[in-house]
A and B are shown apart, each in its own frame.
Chain A
Amino acid sequence: MAYLSMGESHRRITDYLNRFADAINYQDGDSLARLFSVSSDSPSLLSLADALNVFQDANRLIKQSEKFSQFGEVVAPFFRSLQCYRLGNLVDAYGAFEKASNAFIQEFRNWESGWALEALYVIAYEIRVLAERADRELASNGKSPEKLKGAGSFLMKVFGVLAGSCDLQGKGPKRVGALYVTCQLFKIYFKLGTVNLCRSVIRSIETARIFDFEEFPIRDKVTYMYYTGRLEVLNENFPAADQKLSYALTHCCLSKEANIRMILKYLIPVKLSIGILPKKQLLENYDLVEYNNIVEALKRGDLRLLRSALQENEDQFLRSGVYLVLEKLELQVYQRLLKKIYIIQKQKDPSKAHQVKLEVIVKALKWLEIEMDLDEVECIVAILIYKNLMKGYFAHKSKVVVLSKQDPFPKLNGKPVAS
């Protein structure tokens, strides 16, 4: 690091303090926001951090002038946080940043309009990101990671501030920020695995009269629907998951390809579960090739392909949480296999096509290198009929499944398989 003089450090710090005070006095939300983004590693903040570490007594500067000291409660811990961040001490950086944020929120409450929302967004984002990094540091030192959990509690408080804000007319220009904070909370809860905590904030957003969903910024609505859609996938509630993830997809800006990919990653298993197959082109365009073979298996009734596709991408599917959903597609694959047998039989002898010997199914499975005895085949046939994937009955004495002459393989038509 090049030598930094005391004079230069002093200049940088005062420069920042001036910008900070000006941003607040002129209600310049965008400028204020930029002043808080620690983790962005912006050159100006990094150079400020270096200056702080050299100067060491920034508090004196803050107290020197009324212009700066009125924001001392925010700026002093923020400076500490920036210094720690620069020195690689993430745990302390987080702690100080939370202190600064707390002080900021107290000020924010008193400001009338929503001019400072951009800054609030940055703070909410930084709280989460710094907490994540602090936890990584704790874990690597053999300590219990707890900062992200604390960040969640802090953001809940922020949510409360936004929800409770309103001006004299009873409307709240700050309320529109609540969805962004909600999305940060979702990210935290998903990372921690404590998604049950999402419930209370979802309830507030969706049922409280103070919130009008349509008034929130589109970007936040898409993120919100993405996460709530994912929750529905985890609960295997497919119609709701379809609705939410589709909303996110249709409202997502087309240029945000990475986001579209993330939405599709969860929407595709949902669509597959209700009998809708994506085009191969879609999978290629968004690099979701792990679903290729699964779609193929469903088209062909190829149980072996489904199983091998699941095994090949087991890690990935388990990590994204869609493995259990994809596993259940077996029933639809069986349905397709039986339908193919039926079609082949129809071509040979239409009058007898609706009777399928269980032995034939065993043979078909054998060709797919799957060993299954008659009992289990009968069981599968029974379940398919029971769940309305097939219409008919089985006659166990003749070891035959008799299919209905009309519509023996009802389509799912956008509804999930009966459970």
Chain B
Amino acid sequence: MERNNHRRHQVRPFSSSSTTTSSSSGAGSRGDFGALRESDWRSRRQSTASSKTQKPKPKMEAEGGEKEDGLSEIPAVIGTCPFMCPEGERAQRERLRDLAVFERLHGNPGKTSPSLAVKKFCRTISAKEGQASDIRPLPVLEETLSYLLTLLDSTNNSFEALHDFIFDRTRSIRQDLSMQNIANKKAIYMYEKMVWQVKFHVISHLKLRPHSNKSTTSSIHYLNMEQLTKALTSLYNLYDVNHEDSNSVHENEAEFRSFFVLLHLDSRNQPTGGSLALWFRRLPRSIIQSTEMCFARGVLQSFRLGNYKHFLSTIAAEASYLQYCILEPYVNQVRMFALSCINSVGYKLHPYPLARLSNILIMKESDVELLCNACGLEMCMDEAGNKLLPTKQTSFTTPKDSQCYPVLGLERFEMEY
């Protein structure tokens, strides 16, 4: 990569602190688009060199190979766009009135500002759009991500609109990182943040706010999982490229790797490269033996064996918040499987007590009843007034769209987040 572009914009329209990698604040030519002085250039070169690792700069993808989001064969550039959205795009979208709700100045669909407009994800990059001036350098990307995350707390607008916006704009951030071949620790932190905050915040919103349109919810959820898997795969590449030696592991790596296992519990839903078995082959030993990965593997085995008791009790006892967010649809699936199992195998003359079901499925009794009803199962009552589930009911069906009931004991998550 050649640093032949000397024109570095110093103007920061939306933040007061300058977070460029250059350490010299006075020597920089703020707002000056003329050529930098020789001394400025040298000092900047030195400071950026020291802030990176000493060995040759790790590349995220081979040149000419497929980068994330379908880019290929575009040589890495160093971005120089100082805004969250390149000026050209901003002006164009104002003209075309192509502004998201969050980008509109005072609600005006034809007006935005540098502090509101965020660069859109672009599926095909023309030579023009691949110019350095349209690509945001790392510090700008970090600030853009922070800005986007503040939006997550807003409750004004429709959740779907917010989700689509964040989804698209973070994808654009990843695209800019990829085009610049930024593959260092800072990139790792950004990806982790995107995975953590955006994906899971979104998922938990889905959980906490019931939506009337179930099909939208499930399609958002599915898209989310797909994007999540893509982002995770890029993150894993970053981890691989940044390992100093075969034993080193990034601080959050074990947990983020465990998500991959949890996303592919169902053997019908295999990762694109091949299978989960292949994926394990390449994991460093320290990851395989980490607590988080052992948890994931234990859950994987229970799921595939059909051991609903172990599956549910392990999750209730050991899952982290993020792991639980991914596992939630499986929890539902396993509970329904358990009901199906108990219904078909239990002795007809011994109806199964609701209280016990509640224990095994780790759900409130009232929720168990709702789930049974959703599966076409009826409850009965004994003389003492206890509710029971008669077995060998022939009416059992798996409902298509089933709500997931909370796991008892995990209310601690709801409170913390």
**Chain B residues positioned under 8 Å from A383 (CB to CB):** 305-307, 341
Residue B55 contacts which of A142, A144, A236, A386 (CB distance < 8 angstroms)?
Answer: A142
Cβ contact within 8 Å between A144 and B309? no
Q: Give the distance in Å from the alpha carbon of A145 to the alpha carbon of B310 in the complex.
A: 42
Cβ contact within 8 Å between A328 and B304? yes
Q: Which of B9-17, B169-177, B207-215, B277-285 contacts A (4 or more CB under 8 A)?
A: B277-285
Residue A330 contacts which of B305, B349, B352, B356 (CB distance < 8 angstroms)?
Answer: B305
Min distance, Cβ A239 to any Cβ of chain B, angstroms: 15
Q: Give the distance in Å from the alpha carbon of A383 to the alpha carbon of B360 in the complex.
A: 14
**Chain B residues positioned under 8 Å from A142 (CB to CB):** 55-56, 58
Q: Which of A109-117, A173-181, A388-396 contacts B (4 or more CB under 8 A)?
A: A388-396
Interface presence of A154 (CB below 8 A): no
**Chain B residues positioned under 8 Å from A394 (CB to CB):** 345-347
Residue A195 contacts which of B267, B274, B360 (CB distance < 8 angstroms)?
Answer: B274
Interface presence of A365 (CB below 8 A): no
Interface presence of B44 (CB below 8 A): no
**Chain B residues positioned under 8 Å from A318 (CB to CB):** 280-281, 283, 288
**Chain B residues positioned under 8 Å from A398 (CB to CB):** 350
Q: Give the distance in Å from the alpha carbon of A108 to the alpha carbon of B342 in the complex.
A: 66
**Chain B residues positioned under 8 Å from A325 (CB to CB):** 277
Interface presence of B62 (CB below 8 A): yes
Q: Give the distance in Å from the alpha carbon of A327 to the alpha carbon of B302 in the complex.
A: 10
Cβ contact within 8 Å between A327 and B59? no
Interface presence of A376 (CB below 8 A): yes
Q: How many residues of A contact B (CB 8 A)?
A: 46
Interface presence of A382 (CB below 8 A): yes
Cβ contact within 8 Å between A141 and B56? yes
Binary per-residue interface labels of chain A (375-410) against chain B in the complex, 1 for a CB within 8 Å, 0 otherwise: 110111111011100000111111000100000000
Binary per-residue interface labels of chain A (312-352) against chain B in the complex, 1 for a CB within 8 Å, 0 otherwise: 00110011011111011011000000000000000000000
Interface presence of A67 (CB below 8 A): no
Cβ contact within 8 Å between A144 and B61? yes
Q: Give the distance in Å from the alpha carbon of A143 to the alpha carbon of B64 in the complex.
A: 14
**Chain B residues positioned under 8 Å from A375 (CB to CB):** 309, 356, 359-360
Cβ contact within 8 Å between A328 and B65? no
Cβ contact within 8 Å between A327 and B270? no
Residue A196 contacts which of B273, B301, B309 (CB distance < 8 angstroms)?
Answer: B273
**Chain B residues positioned under 8 Å from A387 (CB to CB):** 306
Interface presence of B150 (CB below 8 A): no
Interface presence of A235 (CB below 8 A): yes
**Chain A residues positioned under 8 Å from B65 (CB to CB):** 144, 146, 149
Cβ contact within 8 Å between A386 and B309? no
Cβ contact within 8 Å between A393 and B277? no
Q: Give the distance in Å from the alpha carbon of A119 to the alpha carbon of B342 in the complex.
A: 64
Interface presence of B157 (CB below 8 A): no
Q: Give the distance in Å from the alpha carbon of A196 to the alpha carbon of B279 in the complex.
A: 13
Cβ contact within 8 Å between B305 and A328? yes
**Chain A residues positioned under 8 Å from B276 (CB to CB):** 324
Interface presence of A234 (CB below 8 A): yes
Min distance, Cβ A120 to any Cβ of chain B, angstroms: 26
Of chain A, the residue at the smallest CB distance from B268 is A419
Q: Give the distance in Å from the alpha carbon of A387 to the alpha carbon of B359 in the complex.
A: 23
Q: Give the distance in Å from the alpha carbon of A97 to the alpha carbon of B285 in the complex.
A: 36
**Chain B residues positioned under 8 Å from A327 (CB to CB):** 301, 304
Interface presence of A243 (CB below 8 A): no
Contact A379-B308, Cβ < 8 Å, known A235-B275, A236-B267, A394-B346: yes
Contact A234-B61, Cβ < 8 Å, known A321-B280, A323-B280, A396-B346: no
Contact A386-B278, Cβ < 8 Å, known A141-B56, A144-B62, A379-B307: no
**Chain A residues positioned under 8 Å from B62 (CB to CB):** 144-146, 149
Total CB contacts across the A-B interface at under 8 A: 122
**Chain A residues positioned under 8 Å from B310 (CB to CB):** 376, 379
Residue A393 contacts which of B61, B272, B274, B346 (CB distance < 8 angstroms)?
Answer: B346
Cβ contact within 8 Å between B341 and A196? no
Min distance, Cβ B211 to any Cβ of chain A, angstroms: 33
**Chain B residues positioned under 8 Å from A376 (CB to CB):** 307, 309-310
**Chain A residues positioned under 8 Å from B352 (CB to CB):** 396
Cβ contact within 8 Å between A235 and B306? no
**Chain A residues positioned under 8 Å from B280 (CB to CB):** 318, 321, 323-324
Interface presence of B344 (CB below 8 A): yes
Q: Give the distance in Å from the alpha carbon of A322 to the alpha carbon of B346 in the complex.
A: 34
Q: Give the distance in Å from the alpha carbon of A304 to the alpha carbon of B342 in the complex.
A: 27
**Chain A residues positioned under 8 Å from B309 (CB to CB):** 375-376, 378-379
Cβ contact within 8 Å between A396 and B275? no
Q: Give the distance in Å from the alpha carbon of A182 to the alpha carbon of B311 in the complex.
A: 42
Q: Give the distance in Å from the alpha carbon of A386 to the alpha carbon of B352 in the complex.
A: 17
Residue B277 contacts which of A194, A324, A378, A379 (CB distance < 8 angstroms)?
Answer: A324
Interface presence of A193 (CB below 8 A): yes
Cβ contact within 8 Å between A393 and B278? no
Most chain B CB within 10 A, of A194, A380, A396, is at A396
**Chain B residues positioned under 8 Å from A402 (CB to CB):** 347
Of chain A, the residue at the smallest CB distance from B181 is A144
Q: Give the distance in Å from the alpha carbon of A235 to the alpha carbon of B55 in the complex.
A: 40
Binary per-residue interface labels of chain B (320-360) against chain A in the complex, 1 for a CB within 8 Å, 0 otherwise: 00000000000000000010011011110110100010011
**Chain A residues positioned under 8 Å from B344 (CB to CB):** 386
**Chain A residues positioned under 8 Å from B275 (CB to CB):** 195, 234-235, 321
Contact A195-B278, Cβ < 8 Å, known A393-B347, A397-B350: yes
Min distance, Cβ B102 to any Cβ of chain A, angstroms: 37
Cβ contact within 8 Å between B281 and A193? yes
Contact A396-B356, Cβ < 8 Å, known A327-B301, A380-B307: yes
Residue B285 contacts which of A315, A322, A330, A382 (CB distance < 8 angstroms)?
Answer: A315
Contact A321-B281, Cβ < 8 Å, known A236-B267, A383-B305: yes
Cβ contact within 8 Å between A331 and B305? yes
12 contacts between A and B (CB under 8 A): A142-B58, A144-B65, A146-B64, A193-B273, A324-B280, A330-B305, A383-B307, A385-B345, A395-B346, A395-B347, A396-B346, A398-B350
Given A327-B304, A382-B342, A386-B344, 14 other A-B residues pairs in contact with their CB atoms under 8 A: A143-B56, A146-B63, A146-B65, A193-B273, A195-B273, A195-B275, A235-B267, A321-B281, A322-B277, A328-B304, A376-B309, A382-B341, A386-B345, A397-B347
